[in-house]
Amino acid sequence: MRNFIQPPASHNSAGKHVRESKLSVWENANMSEKKQTVDLGLLEEDDEFEEFPAEDWTGLDEDEDAHVWEDNWDDDNVEDDFSNQLRAELEKHGYKMETS
Amino acid sequence: MAHITLNQYLQQALEAIENRDGSFCAELLSFKHPHVANPRLQLPSPEEKCQQLLEPPYDEMVAAHLRCTFAVSNHDFVEAYRCQTVVVQSFLKAFQAHKEENWALPMMFAVALDLRIFANNAEQQLQKKGKGKVGDMLEKAADQLMACFRVCASDNRAGIEDSKKWGMLFLINQLFKIYFKISKLHLCKPLIRAIDSSNLKDEYSIAQRVTYKYYVGRKAMFDSDFKPAEEYLSFAFQHCHRSCQKNKRMILIYLLPVKMLLGHMPTLLLLKKYDLMQFADVTRAVSEGNLLLLNEALAKHETFFIRCGIFLILEKLKVITYRNLFKKVYQLLKTYQLPLDAFLVALKMMQVEDVDIDEVQCILANLIYMGHIKGYISHQHQKLVVSKQNPFPPLSTVS
């Protein structure tokens, strides 16, 4: 007997009625039929932003990805290879530079 | 579901509708669901049976859906698309008649998504045969989705729990996908305005909000509004579900140029993690001020950058690179009065073609105008005179 009560609202609530795909309920379905569904060519194109498999998730399901952006490249540092190359070129053209 | 008869299927649909079980009814109409592979349901003319059991417009809606499964089983996506438009039309008739209730929203999501996907598939099919104008079917699908959107947006009577306004963001995201595909970004504007002025804006599901921010972020980038673009794309990147690596990567592809223009360089670790090493040389070149390497890096991965639609944005990094190169000259010479010739030496080292003092002045004038350099050109002394305070302001303070 099917449960006709509204499915539990996601933790974030009011008014959101979209629940996760119930595909798992149909695990009894013949494997070949499931494959056929996929073969019906209904996948989105490769370069499209995909539909998410779930509607809601918490921070636990998000990647930390901390410290991925650097600003220190713009510090007053002229000791890298490229700076040395530039220094040498300027010297070659007669510019005198104090060594740091 | 794999073995049920037409009668059983129609009974389930009838019950779902009578019980206002929008979620289950949505599955009965969705092509993600295995029933679409059931040969007993793949029928070219199921109208009579549907009319026997279901009230209009549900009879028409379900009949069109079953005709659609038949078309899809024959790999005829043009016909499938046609059927799906009938499904959406009939659904909308029913939906509009639901006063102050929104139980059918899951159904709308299912049929709207399938409509867009079939429009895509149908166009691809036609193009392979050399027929059909690109974007035609997608535009028509967009028109239908807009009709659904209007029904949702104009629901002012129902209380929040029962409001059809909960359907707005999902539809907007589908419309964004179409407008981006057919390069009609300007059509996004009224939709963005609608959401911005909505009190539900931060209440939609995280999935819908991440998708939304991805697209508005890209639009902002396209409009050269880099600060808002950074905000939107960063949100999307941070909150994207960790198992959706493909989506994370796509967000990053657009976040990277924006971050770099604002002076924030990605770590190699980040680029490796998301398989975006195409940006490695670009990043290094820009942060060094190495114009030569930048040109080489852009040329090397031109195809990739063009396909992603970011080649022109990356070209803007040349300005940043000039700024970084000239800043190095300033740091090496350690003087506030810099001979224009010194910059010429630097540019010639970068193998910039046909560069002379006039060109140097032109570039410097532009950098000053844009706020990247605080100073002025002394023509009499052929020097760039820079401010003693912060002559090369941080990039994040400029744009």
Structural domain contains residue B268: no
Domain that holds residue B37: 1-204
By C-alpha distance, the chain A residue nearest B105 is: A17
The predicted pLDDT at position B145 comes to 98
Show which of B183, B204, B225 is a domain's final residue: B204
Angle subtended by helix axes B22-29 and B6-18, to nearest 10? 150
For the cut 80, the answer to whether the pLDDT of residue B121 exceeds it is yes
The answer to whether B15 contacts chain A (CB < 8 Å) is: yes
Mean pLDDT of chain B: 95
Question: What are the C-alpha distances in Å from B386 to residues A98, B197, B338?
Answer: 19, 45, 8
Show the CA angle centred on residue B181, arms to residues B178 and B182, nearest 5°.
Answer: 90
Q: What is the pLDDT of residues B174-230, one digit of tens each?
A: 999 999 999 999 999 999 999 999 999 999 999 999 999 999 999 999 999 999 999
Chain-chain contact of B265 with A40 (C-beta, under 8 angstroms): no
**Helix (H) and strand (E) counts for chain B?**
20, 4
Question: What are the C-alpha distances in Å from B282 to residues A35, A82, B249, B286, B318?
Answer: 42, 14, 17, 6, 10
Q: How far is B47 from chain A (nearest CA, A)?
A: 23
Interface of A with B in 5-44 (CB under 8 A): 7, 10, 12, 14-19, 21-23, 26, 29-30, 33-34, 36-37, 40-42, 44
Interface probe with A: pick from B332, B347, B383, most Cβ of A within 10 Å: B332
Enclosing H/E stretch for B173: helix B168-181
Q: State the Cα–Cα distance between residues B12 and B57, nearest whole angstrom.
A: 17
Interface size A-B, in CB pairs within 8 Å, comes to 197
Structural domain contains residue B333: yes
Which tokens belong to B330? Answer: 């300033």
Rg (CA), chain A: 29
Structural domain contains residue B317: no
The predicted pLDDT at position A99 comes to 61
Q: State the Cα–Cα distance between residues B247 and B249, nearest whole angstrom.
A: 5
**How many domains does the structure of chain B reveal?**
2
Q: State the Cα–Cα distance between residues B49 and B7, nearest whole angstrom.
A: 8
Mark whether B342 and B197 lie in a shared domain. Answer: no
Q: How far is A7 from chain B (nearest CA, A)?
A: 8
Beta partners for A70?
A: B265
The predicted pLDDT at position A96 comes to 86
Structural domain contains residue B311: no
Structural domain contains residue B231: no
Chain-chain contact of B247 with A4 (C-beta, under 8 angstroms): no
Give B200's Cβ-side CA count (13 Å radius). 24
Structural domain contains residue B239: no
Interface probe with A: pick from B77, B292, B328, most Cβ of A within 10 Å: B328
Chain B residue numbers touching A14 (CB-CB < 8 A) = 160-161, 203
CATH number of the domain residue B366 falls in:
1.10.10.10
Chain A residue numbers touching B250 (CB-CB < 8 A) = 49
Is B39 in contact with B3 (CB distance < 8 Å)?
A: no
Going by pLDDT thresholds of 50, 70 and 90, the confidence category of residue A76 is: confident
Chain B residue numbers touching A52 (CB-CB < 8 A) = 207, 210-211, 241, 244, 247
For the cut 90, the answer to whether the pLDDT of residue A87 exceeds it is yes
Show the CA angle centred on residue B135, arms to residues B94 and A46, nearest 5°.
Answer: 95
Mean pLDDT of chain A: 66
Show which of B156, B173, B204 is a domain's final residue: B204
Structural domain contains residue B132: yes
Structural domain contains residue B67: yes
For the cut 90, the answer to whether the pLDDT of residue B120 exceeds it is yes
Q: Which has the closest alpha carbon to B253: A98, A47, A15?
A: A47
Mark whether B45 and B186 lie in a shared domain. Answer: yes
Show which of B180, B204, B228 is a domain's final residue: B204
* SS3 category, B385: strand
Q: What is the pLDDT of residues B52-72, one digit of tens each?
A: 999 999 999 999 999 999 999
Q: Is the ipTM, as predicted for this complex, more than 0.90? A: no
The predicted pLDDT at position B61 comes to 98
What is the pTM assigned to this prediction? 0.86
Q: State the Cα–Cα distance between residues B334 and B253, nearest whole angstrom.
A: 38
For the cut 50, the answer to whether the pLDDT of residue B261 exceeds it is yes
